[in-house]
Each structure stands twice: as C-alpha cells, then as structure tokens.
C-alpha cells in the first residue's frame, strides 16, 4: 500500500477528485491532506472523506523539520501538490527525492513560474494568443514549475474562448489525467 499526502491551499476540487478516485484502491491510500490555510475548503473535504489533515504555518514548513517529520511518521510514499501555492523548500525536496509531483494548468515550460497559478495562467495563455493549452504533471524541485515533466495533456483554444472557458477545459483535463498519473507513479 502506497501512502499519499495531498498538499492544497484552497477549494480542493483536485484533491477531492484524487480522494474519490483512490477511495476503493487496494494499492493507494490518501493518508494525509496538508494545507497552509486553516480556512481552506480542502480541509472540510478531507474531514468528510475521513482523511487526516494538518494545517502548517511558514515556520514549520520552511524553518523546521516539523513537516518532514510528520510526513515520515505517516509513512508517506508520495506527495501530491494539488493547488498548493507555496514553493517547496529544498529540505523537503531532499527528504522526498522524486516523490513530490505537481500539476500545472499550462503546457510548461511556457506560462510557469512564480505567480503563474489559477486564472493568472489562463489570462496569460489567452493574452498570448495561444492555439492550445493543457496540463503538465511534473516532479517538483526547488524552483517553481521546473521539475522533470511526467506527462502533458492538451486542449484546443477556440477563437472566442475566455480565460474562464479555458479554465473549465483545463479542469476537465486535470480531473481525468491527474489520478491516472498518480496511479502510474505508484504502480
């Protein structure tokens, strides 16, 4: 059994999708949901699903080993970032080498980096007159959106698509492909 920790900062729709996908799995268990925001709805989703959760602050994440110790004591095999907005510290990357993955709502290396999340990405893609966008699932290193790419999935952008319309297309790709990528990595 592979134990997964999901890190999320907000609503938690991707986290919910992952929890649901693996709810009956005999190979993968969502063992922990971690958030940097005590008011994040992802914590309510975790509670309803019976998944333990943890709220962290900047000190415990960046200036101590508290987070690493909690992950290790929970026997975490893979960390999944699902809308987690803090940069992962080098100490955590080193403690879990090639065991932290992220999903980005664009085709990296374009439209990645600090500040490129959520609607910011979709506005930049539409503003850049791109013909397609998509998702990138990648390993995490010490820099935003620069880790080795695991998979990319694309969608067309219509001439009249708005950032909100693009966001819906991206969410559909995330819901379909992120759990499958996790399943492949944990196999």
Give the mean pLDDT of the chain: 96
CA atoms 104, 179, 46, 88: torsion sign: negative
Closest C-alpha to 107, from 121, 120, 86 = 121
**What was the pLDDT predicted at 131?**
97
Indicate which residues carry an active-site annotation. 104
Kindly state which CATH superfamily the domain 2-104+137-153+176-186 is placed in: Formyl transferase, N-terminal domain (3.40.50.170)
The confidence score (pLDDT) of residue 84 equals 94
Q: What is the CA radius of gyration of the chain?
A: 16
Integer angstrom CA distances of residue 139 from 48, 78, 103, 174: 29, 11, 9, 16
Q: Which pLDDT band holds residue 180 (cuts at 50, 70, 90)?
A: very high
Q: How far apart are CA 170 and CA 119, in angstroms?
A: 11
Token look-up 């694309």 returns 154
Give the pLDDT confidence of 26-54 residue by residue, as tens digits: 999 999 999 999 999 999 999 999 999 99
Residue ranges covered by each domain of the chain: 2-104+137-153+176-186
pTM: 0.96
């Amino acid at each position: 059994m592979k134990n997964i920790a999901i890190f999320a900062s907000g609503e938690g729709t991707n986290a919910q999708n992952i929890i649901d996908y693996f709810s009956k799995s005999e190979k993968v268990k969502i063992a922990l949901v971690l958030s940097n925001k005590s008011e994040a709805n992802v914590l309510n989703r975790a509670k309803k699903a019976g998944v333990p959760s943890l709220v962290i602050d900047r000190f415990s994440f960046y200036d101590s080993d508290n987070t690493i110790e909690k992950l290790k004591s929970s026997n975490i095999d893979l960390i999944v970032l699902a809308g987690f907005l803090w940069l992962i510290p080098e100490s955590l990357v080193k403690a879990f080498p090639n065991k932290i993955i992220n999903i980005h709502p664009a085709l990296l290396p374009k439209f990645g980096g600090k500040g490129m999340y959520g609607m910011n990405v979709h506005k930049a893609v539409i503003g850049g007159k791109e013909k397609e966008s998509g998702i990138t699932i990648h390993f995490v290193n010490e820099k935003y959106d620069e880790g080795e790419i695991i998979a990319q999935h694309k969608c067309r952008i219509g001439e009249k698509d708005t950032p909100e319309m693009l966001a819906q297309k991206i969410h559909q790709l995330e819901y379909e492909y992120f759990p499958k990528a996790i399943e492949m990595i944990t196999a």
